Structure 1
Amino acid sequence: MRKNLKPNIEYAEIFWTHWSVYCVVASFSSVFLLANGYTNTEIGTMIAAGNLVSVAVQPVLASVADRSERFGVFPVSILVTVIVMLFEAVTLILSGRSFLLSAAYVLMFGFQASLQPLLNSMEAKLARRGIGVDYGICRAMGSLGYSVMSAVLGVLVVSAGVRALPVAGEICLLLLLGGLLLLGGRFRKAGSTASAGSPDIKEKGSISMGEFIRRHRVFLVINIGILLIFYDHQIINFFMLQIFQNVGGDSGNMGHYYSIMTILELIPLIGFTWLTKHFRSSFLLKVATIGFVLRGVFMLLAHTPTAMMLTLVVHPFGFPLFLPAVVRYINEIMDEREAVRGQSLYVIMITVSAVAASFSGGVILDTLGADALLWICAVTCVIGAAIILPLLDRAKTDSAKTL
């Protein structure tokens, strides 16, 4: 298998536009919905509902993408993108608080989030057709695209108003659709060439959900640990301002924190292919899990804005390393008939952690305060790591026995 420029550009463009759409739909959701007359409580409820839609939709899409010979990962991704475009068009047409706008936004949020496991699974699907792509660099382009889109939207909203948001969303979705069509066409062409040139290459029978669970029981337990360590990460996403205010900081400190955090995330993502040549994916996942714990503990111990900023020193060893490592790990322990469901399962855990953090974080802050919230985050990280670390190698062994 050799890597060439065109599929890498197409895969990177897919990640760039996907995370640009996420920036429009999720990160600027409050901006758009507040301007349309929604309250903060209603916005929080809609975001939670969108995450729940994603949790419900992802297993269905993953099962279809894994089991259907006709509707593989690329056709399903294209279909989901078109659905999101339709809901985005509704938010462009409608203005003002209404049931239809609320429903369209919740469904758009849910379906857009459900794309992530489909995109993650494409690397393994492409590799099995002899198309080499660098997941780490392509995923890094997603983070970079998110950062650029954040800056662009900040200017657009000021100069053109919130109506610019759904317009920007539709443009990015159209570009995403184009990337999926190009890379999907390359994937189909490689499949037909491989089938014609090698009669041994045949798809195995599909795997039912029951069989999937039987083959990966240890991995299911690992996902409970993933939910727990990501609870801390989601709290940081949702309530970082309150955490900084607790140590005497302000929104300026929060902005600097996020800016530095985004830059640091590019380092392990771009260097991930080099890391995999020297370390096993299970080892990298262990390092990333410990990175989550260290940041949780360091944030608990930080009592000034400067100390809080210094906690970012361990960030590259946590979340941004975990992202490509878990994708590679899942692709290693699962075959092509179940890869999308594997990717979907861990994304569902992250989504559930977001729902739990959004609901519980505010309550804990209002009743117990930021210090108590950081204690809870540190404890959940430690418990999650205690579940994940001893099971990573065992999950690979158990999966191999059932192949």
Structure 2
Amino acid sequence: MKDKKINIQYILLQGLYWMMFCPSAGFISFYLQGNGFGNSLIGIITAVFCLVAAILQPLAGNLCDRIKILTWKRMIILLGLPYILICIMLFIVKERWLIAVLFGLMYIIASIYLPMINTALFAYEREGVKLNFGVARGTGSAMYAIMALLIGNMALRFGTKIIPASGLIIMVLLLCVVSTMPHTKKSVFESDEYRQTNVISFIRKYPYFSIMLLAVLFIFFSHNIIGTYLLQIVQSLGGNSGNLGTAMFIQAVVEIPVLFTFSFIMKKIKVGNLMIIACAGYILRAVLYFVSINIGMIYITQLSQICSFAIMAAASVYFTGTAVREEDHATGQAFMSGMMSAGTVLGSLFGGGILDYMGMRALLSVNILLSVIGTGIAIWSVRMMRINKRFRQV
């Protein structure tokens, strides 16, 4: 009975988190464009926010690992309060640069939440509670899909104000769910080696895992060149924010079958191979975007999410849980999600410049190259980990 209740709560937590992440990450271009920013400025602003998020994620994870009273649950509640205040301020503030800063803070808080929510999975499992991560993450994708469709269509009527409004409502619901979830105890380790691991020494402690982090950086560089500028891609083919919402809905919906069956998939395919398959899926995705000539083909391209992000979203969590020790789980999850944010930095920063000065075809060509490099590094990482006896389960 206890397991069932916590599973339901964790499913709700994942669902509400991805609903919250949708407006702050999926509609960055729409929100900044609607407040008077051009492509290059959108890229620079997004890059700055994502860089801060990439730095703060491992720091926040490390704090959770090292400070006894600071759990994943308390971190979520502490960060939720300023998030609510920011959403309220976005209804009042008129200065466009201040609006950009506040929106960036929304994104940063949402990014820091991800490693905390992933850490909760392992925290409960340490206490004997078996959580079905695939179903929970699949629910997250379903909720993201619904949110993308709603925001994309409501934005045509209500404009950019729909972003802080949706963020405010969802955050309140998320905090209600988190507050009802049982507290988890931290593991106690006797060795000073475990207690003294910090962010810098983490990379030295896990060199093979760090190679995979580099692969994830390239893959999410590719992922976010498309994600940040999907609105511009859609507009270049004659579409609008409604088409953007539909495209995001499709890509989120097709993730659901993979995520719901991920526990079964992991029994058949090693997690290291799943990481490689996901990276290869990004090559397919990049090629399909390159050859798309109308909105219909963009919708078809979104189906490639099945073999790219859908696998990466779950496999990266389990890969991290396998490759790092228990006492470093929050730090490891934070590094993994931090690389995803760092990929957004690069995608936003370089994507806007490439788009403005070289055009859409150049942007989509670079996207293919990045996915190929990322896949090559992922293969190298998994091979090195398997040579090392400690990582045979990868």
TM-score, with length taken from structure 1 = 0.84
3-state SS of paired residue (1:208): coil
1:219 aligned to 191, 209, 226, which one? Answer: 209
Provide the residue aligned with 2:311 in structure 1.
321
Q: Is 1:208 aligned to residue 207 of structure 2?
A: no
How many corresponding residue pairs?
A: 385
Provide structure 2 residue ranges, at least 5 long, that are not aligned to the other structure. Answer: none
Q: Is 1:121 aligned to residue 119 of structure 2?
A: yes
Question: Partner amino acid for 1:208?
Answer: T
Question: Partner amino acid for 1:359?
Answer: L
2:94 aligned to 93, 96, 120, which one? Answer: 96
2:287 aligned to 281, 297, 301, which one? Answer: 297
Provide structure 1 residue ranges, at least 5 long, that are not aligned to the other structure. Answer: 193-200
- Cα distance in structure 1, aligned partners of 2:324 and 2:269: 19
- Cα distance in structure 1, aligned partners of 2:42 and 2:131: 38
Distance change in 2, residues 1:387/1:157 (3 Å): closer
Distance change in 2, residues 1:255/1:110 (3 Å): closer
Provide the residue aligned with 1:130 in structure 2.
128
- Cα distance in structure 2, aligned partners of 1:329 and 1:45: 31
Aligned residues with identical type, % of pairs: 25
Distance change in 2, residues 1:100/1:297 (3 Å): closer
Deviation at 1:154, TM superposition (A): 4.8
Q: Is the 8 A contact 1:243 1:370 kept in 2?
A: yes
* CA deviation vs aligned residue, 1:190-238 (integer Å, no higher than 9, x gap): x49xxxxxxxx84454242244222211211221111112222112212
* CA deviation vs aligned residue, 1:158-196 (integer Å, no higher than 9, x gap): 66665554343222111111222222xx243xx49xxxx
- Cα distance in structure 1, aligned partners of 2:117 and 2:389: 23
Distance change in 2, residues 1:119/1:396 (3 Å): farther
- Cα distance in structure 2, aligned partners of 1:379 and 1:15: 32
Deviation at 1:331, TM superposition (A): 0.5
Matches within 5 A, 1:4-403: 4-29=3-28, 37-40=35-38, 43-92=42-91, 94-97=92-95, 100-154=98-152, 163=161, 165-183=163-181, 186-188=182-184, 191=185, 202-204=188-190, 205-209=194-198, 210-243=200-233, 250-251=239-240, 256-302=246-292, 309-395=299-385, 398=388, 400=390
Distance change in 2, residues 1:174/1:299 (3 Å): closer
* CA deviation vs aligned residue, 1:335-366 (integer Å, no higher than 9, x gap): 22111111111212111211211121232223
- Cα distance in structure 2, aligned partners of 1:266 and 1:285: 18
Q: Is the 8 A contact 2:219 2:375 kept in 1?
A: yes
Distance change in 2, residues 1:334/1:232 (3 Å): same
Deviation at 1:3, TM superposition (A): 8.3
TM-score, with length taken from structure 2 = 0.86
- Cα distance in structure 2, aligned partners of 1:255 and 1:100: 26
Name the stretch that deviates more: 37-46 or 347-356. Answer: 37-46
Q: Is the 8 A contact 1:23 1:150 kept in 2?
A: yes
- Cα distance in structure 2, aligned partners of 1:178 and 1:292: 36
Distance change in 2, residues 1:223/1:240 (3 Å): same
Deviation at 1:245, TM superposition (A): 6.5
3-state SS of paired residue (2:69): coil
3-state SS of paired residue (1:258): helix
- Cα distance in structure 1, aligned partners of 2:161 and 2:305: 35
Larger radius of gyration: 1
- Cα distance in structure 1, aligned partners of 2:109 and 2:127: 27
